[in-house]
Amino acid sequence: MFGLGTLARVTRELRQDLTAAQERDPAARDLGRLEILLTYGGVQALLVHRIAHAAHDTGVPVLPHALAYVGRITTGVEIHPAAQIGDALFIDHGAGVVIGETAEIGDNVTLYQGVTLGGTGFARGKRHPTVDDDVVIGSGAKLLGPIHVGANAKIGANSVVIHDVPPKSTVVGNPGHPVRIEGVRPVGPDADWAHLPDPVADAIRALSARVSELEHQLAEVTGKEPVKPAEVRPLRPRGGDPTGG
Ligand SMILES: CC(C)(COP(=O)(O)OP(=O)(O)OC[C@H]1O[C@@H](n2cnc3c(N)ncnc32)[C@H](O)[C@@H]1OP(=O)(O)O)[C@@H](O)C(=O)NCCC(=O)NCCS
């Protein structure tokens, strides 16, 4: 079943996962590797997955899913045994992460808590995301379907991403859309997704103008002072502070 080769591979992967935690979690820099292994749910979930995945590859029945189940109840991270995960993945804080059966993750990827790499339907076959090297996926982000996330992309916390993500881009929001590509804001018509028109505020503003017009006409008829028109502010403030980082 498991040969020495498998053991050596899992040990090498564990070493890289521990290094990833030390390098990418500022709070872990002063911690020893054993301390991280004993206390970091994300690292433990990965170790369990590395063993479950090796068992899955060798065709052992029951064990891969049993291990994945144990991983889920002890760490809150659910990784399907068939999911393909590269070297040095770091799952910070662990809890609530779900990685589906046909998901593929490259090297040096970072996931925060609550990330889902999920499917969108009941069809079989490739139905989960492919994430290239050096991608960072913020807490609570949902990446759904067989989409492709290019290398070095950043996905904002709580984004819902259902389309491919270009390499070296920053994607935020629901639906997820690029706000930076290679460090530059996307340009062109319809490219400024971050500052969409606000149709609800526009409709209320139009109604307010009509009410105001009627009040003026009424004031003329009755001879009373017209009421000052009410201010209508956009429901979504433009600009503002970044929400993550
Ligand atoms: C997406 C992210 C990586 C971008 O970081 P960045 O490269 O420094 O980019 P900026 O902060 O300059 O943000 C770029 C734009 O996206 C917006 N933005 C950033 N994160 C966002 C988010 N999660 N949701 C919606 N909009 C977001 C910013 O407001 C900014 O908009 P602007 O162009 O109108 O100014 C970061 O904001 C993020 O969400 N990181 C996840 C961190 C996380 O999950 N931490 C958990 C720790 S427990």
Q: Is the CB of 129 under 6 A from ligand 1?
A: no
Q: For position 29, what pLDDT does the model report?
A: 87
Residues counted in the chain: 245
Residue range 221-226: average pLDDT? 84
More confident residue, 16 or 201: 16
Q: For position 228, what pLDDT does the model report?
A: 75
Q: For position 156, what pLDDT does the model report?
A: 98
Residue range 138-158: average pLDDT? 98
Pick the atom of ligand 1 nearest to 195's CA.
Answer: 34
Name the pLDDT band for 150 (thresholds 50, 70, 90): very high
Q: What is this structure's pTM?
A: 0.81
Q: Is the CB of 119 under 6 A from ligand 1?
A: no
Q: Is the CB of 94 under 6 A from ligand 1?
A: no
Q: Is the CB of 232 under 6 A from ligand 1?
A: no
Q: How far apart are CA 116 and CA 139, in angstroms?
A: 9
Q: What's the CA dihedral at 16, 20, 23, 26 to 10 degrees?
A: -140
Residue showing tokens 């970091």: 40
pLDDT at residue 240 above 80?
Answer: no
Q: For position 98, what pLDDT does the model report?
A: 98
Q: For position 245, what pLDDT does the model report?
A: 32
Q: Is the CB of 42 under 6 A from ligand 1?
A: no
Q: For position 234, what pLDDT does the model report?
A: 61
Residue showing tokens 């301390």: 35
Q: Is the CB of 161 under 6 A from ligand 1?
A: no
Q: For position 203, what pLDDT does the model report?
A: 87
Instruction: Choose which residue among 113, 154, 170, 177 to substitute to test ligand 1 binding: the one with the highest number of ligand atoms within 8 A of its C-beta.
Output: 170
Cα 141 to ligand 1 centre (Å): 12
Please write the tens of the pLDDT for every residue from 3-33.
888 899 999 999 999 999 999 999 998 999 9
Name all contacts of 162-167 with Cβ < 8 Å and 24+ positions apart.
162/120, 167/132
Instruction: Choose which residue among 179, 182, 185, 192 to substitute to test ligand 1 binding: the one with the highest number of ligand atoms within 8 A of its C-beta.
Output: 179
Q: What percent of the chain has pLDDT over 70?
A: 89
Residue identifier of the C-alpha nearest atom 37 of ligand 1: 244
Cα 138 to ligand 1 centre (Å): 9
HSE, side-chain direction, 13 A CA sphere, residue 149: 35
Pick the closest to residue 19 from 46, 51, 1 (CA basis).
46
Please write the tens of the pLDDT for every residue from 152-200.
999 999 999 999 999 999 999 999 999 999 999 887 655 555 556 677 8
pLDDT at residue 151 above 50?
Answer: yes
E strand segments, 87-192: 90-91, 98-99, 104-105, 110-111, 116-118, 130-131, 136-137, 142-144, 148-149, 154-155, 160-161, 169-172, 177-181
Please write the tens of the pLDDT for every residue from 86-106.
999 999 999 999 999 999 999
Q: Is the CB of 64 under 6 A from ligand 1?
A: no
In angstroms, what is the C-alpha Rg of the chain?
25
pLDDT at residue 202 above 90?
Answer: no
Q: How far apart are CA 8 and CA 5, in angstroms?
A: 5
Q: Is the CB of 114 under 6 A from ligand 1?
A: no
Q: How far apart are CA 109 and CA 87, in angstroms?
A: 8
Q: For position 180, what pLDDT does the model report?
A: 93
> 10 Å Cβ neighbour count for 108?
20
Residue identifier of the C-alpha nearest atom 28 of ligand 1: 242
Q: For position 191, what pLDDT does the model report?
A: 59
Residue identifier of the C-alpha nearest atom 7 of ligand 1: 170
